[in-house]
Amino acid sequence: MEKTNQTLLYAFEGFEKDLSEELSLGKARILEQQGRLFVVENLLARPVWAQACGYNAVRATPKSITESVKVLRDLGGKWACASQTRHRRSQLIQEQAYRPRPPQEIEFLGEVPTARWGLWALLDDQTLIASAETDSIFPLGEVRIKESEAPPSRAYMKLWELFTLHGIKPPPKSRTIDLGSSPGGWTWVLAEMGCQVLAVDKAPLAPHVAKNPLVKSLKKDAFKLVPTETGPIDWLFSDLICYPPKLFDLVGVWREAGVKNFVCTLKFQGRSDFESMARFLEIPGSWIVHLCANRHEVTWVCLEKGKN
């Protein structure tokens, strides 16, 4: 077994090119790529487009399935297989090293497991690569939160994931604004958490969300709304469909008006807009995450108290 300082990355499905570009921009060296699996060196920051990330990978050249199983068992812990090749052999190793169990779902705002899932893969018949030092509390970083049928859109899953797994939560009674709120998934989550919500969209909210006494809706173009019309806002949420530079300007208006906490989706068309991501990250207290519930978009968070 050889210890390395290589990192194993498992890209979000369909975003391999985005991860590859992100790594190049960050000057990381890609030693190998097989489908969603990347082996890299000189990684300076955790890539947004990686669903799972395993540091200080170990390489081994086991001669048999039994030897491969022994490598993983000796390293200890729970293992998830990221092999993009040698599928049958990988499956046999996985079953003997750590038998996959039915995926465990956590409740919204429920207790979050702390144990990490190791990441391993066969790169070819001879080479096994594995890292126990991952940031995955779910196998391969695939988030599983129990869903609800109450919200009117699946967009609510973005906030559920963010609030449950990233320790971010507007306290009850916070004055929030939800830009691009229709049909009301985010507004529903915020109101369920006891926040006051001003829901702004050109389209209506689902009636069962609109009738919540904590929700006020404003049928308006979010770019024409001026902060003096709304009264003080503690948290601004935006899931607006617009180009990131336009959203950046809009965020600037609300920052100038004194808003200090933001959760905004940056939506991309075609290539991911790394330039805009970098501009957003320059705002103090900011970070960006690609949630499992995000498709070709990322979530920018900016908190008055900074990152947890």
Ligand X SMILES: C[S@@+](CC[C@H](N)C(=O)[O-])C[C@H]1O[C@@H](n2cnc3c(N)ncnc32)[C@H](O)[C@@H]1O
- Give SS3 for 106: strand
Among 46, 173, 223, 271, binds ligand X (CB under 6 A): 223
- Closest residue to ligand X in the complex (CB): 185
Q: Is residue 203 close enough to count as binding ligand X by CB under 6 A?
A: yes
Question: Which residue number, 94 or 294, has a Cβ lying nearer to ligand X?
Answer: 294
Q: Is residue 196 close enough to count as binding ligand X by CB under 6 A?
A: no
To ligand X, the closest distance from the beta carbon of 239 in angstroms equals 3
- Could you tell me which residues are beta bridge partners of residue 10? 37, 52
- What span, in angstroms and rounded, lies between the C-alpha atoms of 239 and 267? 9
Site string for ligand X, 27-46 (x = CB under 6 A): --------------------
Question: Which residue number, 134 or 265, has a Cβ lying nearer to ligand X?
Answer: 265
Tell me which H or E stretch contains 33.
Answer: strand 29-34
List binders of ligand X among 52-81 (CB under 6 A).
none
| Burial of 160 (C-beta count, 10 Å sphere; 0-12/13-18/19+) | buried
Kindly state the tokens that stand for 271. 């290539």
Question: Which residue number, 192 or 239, has a Cβ lying nearer to ligand X?
Answer: 239
Q: How many CB atoms lie within 10 A of CB 228?
A: 7
Q: What are phi and psi of 262, to 5 degrees?
A: -135, 140
- Give SS3 for 290: coil
Among 2, 111, 149, 221, binds ligand X (CB under 6 A): 221
138: closest CA among 178, 169, 186, 100?
100
One-letter amino acid of 297: E
- Considering CB under 6 A, how many residues would be counted as binding ligand X? 21
Question: Which residue number, 234 or 239, has a Cβ lying nearer to ligand X?
Answer: 239
To ligand X, the closest distance from the beta carbon of 263 in angstroms equals 11
- What span, in angstroms and rounded, lies between the C-alpha atoms of 127 and 194? 53
One-letter amino acid of 42: N
- What span, in angstroms and rounded, lies between the C-alpha atoms of 220 and 234? 20
* Helices assigned H by DSSP within 5-153: 16-25, 65-75, 87-97
Yes or no: say if 285 and 304 are a contact pair by the CB < 8 Å rule: yes
Question: Which residue number, 113 or 194, has a Cβ lying nearer to ligand X?
Answer: 194
Q: Is residue 239 close enough to count as binding ligand X by CB under 6 A?
A: yes
- What span, in angstroms and rounded, lies between the C-alpha atoms of 203 and 41? 47
* Residue burial 162-190, b: 16+ Cβ < 10 Å; e: rest: bbbbbebebeeebbbbbbbbbbbbbbbbb
List binders of ligand X among 175-194 (CB under 6 A).
180-186
To ligand X, the closest distance from the beta carbon of 212 in angstroms equals 14
Among the residue ranges 60-68, 104-112, 220-228, 296-304, the one whose residues contact ligand X (CB under 6 A): 220-228
Site string for ligand X, 132-171 (x = CB under 6 A): ---------------------x-xx---------------
Among the residue ranges 122-130, 142-150, 165-173, 198-206, the one whose residues contact ligand X (CB under 6 A): 198-206
To ligand X, the closest distance from the beta carbon of 10 in angstroms equals 27
List binders of ligand X among 240-299 (CB under 6 A).
240-242
Please report, as ranges, the residues that interact with ligand X according to CB under 6 A: 153, 155-156, 180-186, 200-203, 221-223, 239-242
